[in-house]
Structure 1
Amino acid sequence: MDKLPKVAYFCMEYGLDSKFKIYSGGLGILAGDILKAAKDLNVPMVGIGIKWKQGYVDQYITEDGRTLDTYRAYDYDFLEDTGITVDVEIKESTYTLKVWKVDKFNNVPLYLLDADVDGNENRLITSQLYGWFSEERVAQEIILGVGGVRALRKLGIDVDVYHFNDNHPVFAGIELIREKMENGLTFNEALAATREEIVFTTHTPVPAGNEVHSHRLLEYMGAYLNLDYWHMKRLGGDPFSMTVAALRMSRISNGVAQLHKETANKMWEGVEGSSKIIGITNGVHNGTWQDERIVKAYKEGKSLLEVHNEIKKELIAFVEKRTGVKLDAEKLLIGFARRAAPYKRSNLIFTDEKLIGPYLESGKIQIIFAGKAHPNDYTGKGIISDIVKMAKKYPNSVVFLENYDMEIGAMLTRGCDIWLNNPRRPQEASGTSGMKAAMNGVLNCSILDGWWPEACIHGVNGWQFGDGLGVDDFDTLEELDKHDAKALYKVLLEEVLPTYYENKSKWEEMMRKSIETTQEKFSAARMVKEYYDLMYTK
């Protein structure tokens, strides 16, 4: 193990524990799971991130069904003060950043940068994760990237590989180039040497998830770091694409599922000087997300349904405590929990209310929804409002759990019977919540997008609907949505419901097969091993 390269893993957010509010969703949960798996495997890795004082938005539902965004400050007594500070320049002001360390969640050391220090022009800059607008975002990314590299230097951590998880850490690459140019290398030489040190994971295939900034803004914010316009244009184009720059500064990149690899290569095929994009499918940390009781029953060949029903009742009690709604443990329970983004189509199941309504009215189908919209995403907030209206219309069978977090995610991916996922293919990069559900024996019913094409054995370990058709197969999104809704109803009503209500032995067989086919193949341990084999080791 001593011969393995030392990796510094850079990410804007980390989901290590529900009470540690420095994450917003899937990207952070993935990063947290990677740090935990690295610890389990005893590989040389450290994490670099930001200490978010207020974290991501707390989002609640008002009496009239609208979303209410709030923030509050958090203090964490488990953070270790390293005694180290580093300075970065933002808008011609020097910011001093404190460096904190945390390793109490069975993770490799994670170092967090904090601008809440006396003398800084804006102490709030590391308060809100993904808060505010472009100026603040660039400032935060300078803190993560530039501050992260300088913190590693001051901590005396010798790094072989810098892993950028998504495009937010790009300014770490600019800092590495700057260092080399100060030591006498030309820009081309510095770029070539830096490329040997960086690997990059690209995530969302949706354009909005790939940041673009004007050069005027970057120069004004101090993100040029002594490079000039022509250097920066060579890296990220004009306007400056963070993803394009990351692709050009890395020696190798990866998509987060095999289908996403194809999508990403197609999406970025016009980028001259891009690194090769391979596929390393995401995984989840079994110790965090897999219920020990299900694991024990599975290993001992005991009844999975019996254990699952016990966990399901715990979820139902949790929901009743949160909402006052008492669901029926005997009836089918569907879970749907993800960010409220339009392409994820949270409300697709309500497309034909005349068809689905009677099942909701009778309680034969029950659904728990959870998810947050970005504070500035009014379309996403509208989707949540629509779901809340349906919850009021069908109060005994449709529930929305507000302020989605890791605790809610764990409860749902263990206690539901079905995990529903219906993005517009191929816009879901991976979809790790489905992996968590699958390894708990919660059966996936999903579009063949993200990770599911690699796992699905239809009618054996879950179900697919839509037959792999996506946005390129229809003239309009409306046609695709209509097709997928019809396909969902067919599978749900003709296959899922009859199996659940009339063939419990088959259901239990499918649960066992779901665990068997996913718990190792889609584990974070497998993912980290692949990173070392395919990305970190030359």
Structure 2
Amino acid sequence: MDELNEFFKGKKIAYFSMEMGLQNEIPTYSGGLGILAGDVIRASADLGIPLVGVTLVSRKGHFAQHLDEKGRQSEDEQKWSPEDYIKLLPAEVTVRIQQRDVRVRAWLYEHKSLTEELIPVILLDTDVDGNSPEDRGITDYLYGGDSRYRLKQEIILGIGGAKMLDKLGLHMSKYHMNEGHSSLLTMELLRRNEMDPGRVKELCVFTTHTPVASGHDRFSYDLVRELIEGEQEIGALRKYGGEDELNMTVLALNLSDYINGVAKRHREISEKMFPGYKFRSITNGVHSYTWVCSHFRVLYDRHIPGWANEPELLVRVKNVPGDEIWDAHKNAKKELIDHVNMKKGIGMDHDTLTIGFARRMAEYKRPAFIFSDLKRLMKVNEAGKIQLIFAGKAHPADTRGKEIIEEIFGYIEDLKDTIKIAFLENYDMDLALKMVSGVDVWLNTPKRPFEASGTSGMKAAHNGVVNLSVPDGWWIEGCVAGVTGYSIGAGIDPDSSPEEIERIERDDLYNKLEYIIIPKYYDRRDEWIAIMRNSVEMIAYYFNCHRMMRRYVTEAYL
């Protein structure tokens, strides 16, 4: 334990997240929530925030995506060997599940920042000698299995995580729950504090990330009683987590003093979803150094020394010559297009306006929205050639998400003689960086108000890529129309019917592409580069994790 002492001294903030994107080769993340958590670790190290991450080891990952020629998705395990990347700690705790003791051990991941600050991340693991085969697999699959499997994981994460921090001799000033998956940690804190909710609330911070009802975990009390024993515990769960079913978000809401959404609009939506609770808002950000490609790193190093540790300095990009911005972008774009051509062999062009769409393939994100009217899309392409690059996984249980991927493959086939379109499989951190830096336009078309924040567009802006997005989540705050990018369907009457809203958005998308974006990209390059520069100057300087974490420190942690 001696090696832990230097950075385990003093009071710490525990940051709990079911998923955490620490690096590309460690598949303990599935999407935006996990990538944000990884960025929190990285920014906290840069800023010297005394934070400790807690997550699951997810030995078999989320899943590796395979797509056949029709776009039909199949899934494989993402097995990885923890010992290749992290250290096993000599600490073990037990957690009661289904009337038996489950042994939990911990692995240590150490993130060291450019400033030489160290942030530890504890990865919990039940693959321990002495556990039953069933219990050894609890921490295998990220978001795998049924409700029983999920609740077992959340018991390990929340209760097991709190116990492990105590076992390691850490003294916590706050417990920050990144979504409700870890909210059972409040039960452990209640036990330690004589079931006093006031004392527990003083310790807890809760961030919710989704305005989609299905994103909030709920469990029947029949299942809860099967897995969690003790009338006092069940009584507390009913009292704080819901009388009819255990709602993990409600449990966190009732036992946290500081509660926030991840964008200003998300705060408003959250208060409507959960009436009676007062939410704050801290708009998400991204870790600038991680999400700036090598070509722009060199550019920023040359003109804006110190930007990596102080991303607010990116406001000085106004002094960077436009031809150097364009050259950096061309190099990033070449890398992406060469990668696509190597993978797909479709002969994409380096000079054609390239539109990117990459995120989880879920129906509310409307990945195929740009194909809503193929005649209009063909007309757009006649105004100026376009090419499209897609990536993203559908959850194994999301039948509709899988169907959308197949539909996109159908459009690829239908349009192959006119518009070059690629769908890249197995979206991960490395591919994400290639895409957010290599496309010309970053497209986002969620059905509002279901985009809580979104961060991929922030990453694109860090690389001078122009956003074209529905005004939802962070983009409501980030878009200055025609200056930092473009909105799709801004100013729609919120009382309009869903069909009318979709019609207006569809028309606006095609009109923006045909009459504004294409002419500016091909014929008025100086104006296009000005928007690229504005994306960095007015978006990247603010929508970063350093700003976000400073606000968490001053508003939630202190």
Instruction: Tell me the TM-score range normalised by the shorter chain.
Output: over 0.9
3-state SS of paired residue (2:251): helix
- TM-score normalised to the size of structure 2? 0.90
Displacement of 1:310 in angstroms is 1.0
Displacement of 1:175 in angstroms is 1.1
3-state SS of paired residue (2:450): coil
Which residues in structure 2 correspond to 1:257-272 (within 5 Å)? 257-270=263-276
State the AA in 1 paired with 2:467.
N
Which residues in structure 2 correspond to 1:367-386 (within 5 Å)? 367-386=388-407
| Structure 2 stretches lacking a partner, 5+ long | 1-6, 304-319
Match of 2:306 in 1: none
Q: Is the 8 A contact 2:261 2:283 kept in 1?
A: yes
Match of 2:140 in 1: 127
Alignment counterpart, residue 451 of structure 1, candidates 474, 496, 502 = 474
Q: Is the 8 A contact 1:4 1:43 kept in 2?
A: no
State the AA in 2 paired with 1:100.
W
Cα 1:196/1:3, change in 2 over 3 Å: farther
User: 1:313 aligned to 2:334?
Assistant: yes
User: 1:90 aligned to 2:97?
Assistant: yes
- TM-score normalised to the size of structure 1? 0.94
Q: Is the 8 A contact 2:11 2:170 kept in 1?
A: no
Q: Is the 8 A contact 2:66 2:426 kept in 1?
A: yes
State the AA in 2 paired with 1:294.
F
Displacement of 1:359 in angstroms is 4.5
Displacement of 1:72 in angstroms is 3.8
Match of 1:205 in 2: 211
Q: Is the 8 A contact 2:53 2:122 kept in 1?
A: yes
Which residues in structure 2 correspond to 1:44-443 (within 5 Å)? 44-76=50-82, 77-104=84-111, 106=113, 108-121=119-132, 122=134, 123-181=136-194, 187=195, 190-222=196-228, 227-237=232-242, 238-270=244-276, 274=277, 276-297=278-299, 300=303, 301-302=320-321, 303-359=324-380, 364-395=385-416, 397-443=420-466
Identity percentage of aligned residues: 41
3-state SS of paired residue (1:266): helix
State the AA in 1 paired with 2:284.
N
- How far apart, CA to CA, are the structure 2 residues paired with 1:492 and 1:225? 60
- How far apart, CA to CA, are the structure 2 residues paired with 1:195 and 1:482? 46
Deviations 1:48-74 (A, max 9, x none): 010011111111112332111111421
Q: Is the 8 A contact 1:82 1:99 kept in 2?
A: yes
- How far apart, CA to CA, are the structure 2 residues paired with 1:292 and 1:213? 45
3-state SS of paired residue (2:519): helix
3-state SS of paired residue (2:89): strand
Displacement of 1:200 in angstroms is 0.2
Q: Is the 8 A contact 1:368 1:399 kept in 2?
A: yes
Alignment counterpart, residue 540 of structure 2, candidates 510, 519, 523 = 519
State the AA in 2 paired with 1:174.
M
Deviations 1:310-335 (A, max 9, x none): 11000011112222222111110001
Displacement of 1:90 in angstroms is 1.1
Cα 1:479/1:20, change in 2 over 3 Å: same
- How far apart, CA to CA, are the structure 2 residues paired with 1:356 and 1:124? 48
3-state SS of paired residue (2:101): strand
Q: Is the 8 A contact 1:447 1:468 kept in 2?
A: no
Q: Is the 8 A contact 1:78 1:104 kept in 2?
A: no
State the AA in 2 paired with 1:87.
T
State the AA in 1 paired with 2:348.
L
Size of the aligned set, in residue pairs, is: 523
Q: Is the 8 A contact 1:391 1:398 kept in 2?
A: yes
Output the aligned Cα RMSD. 2.0
Match of 2:19 in 1: 13
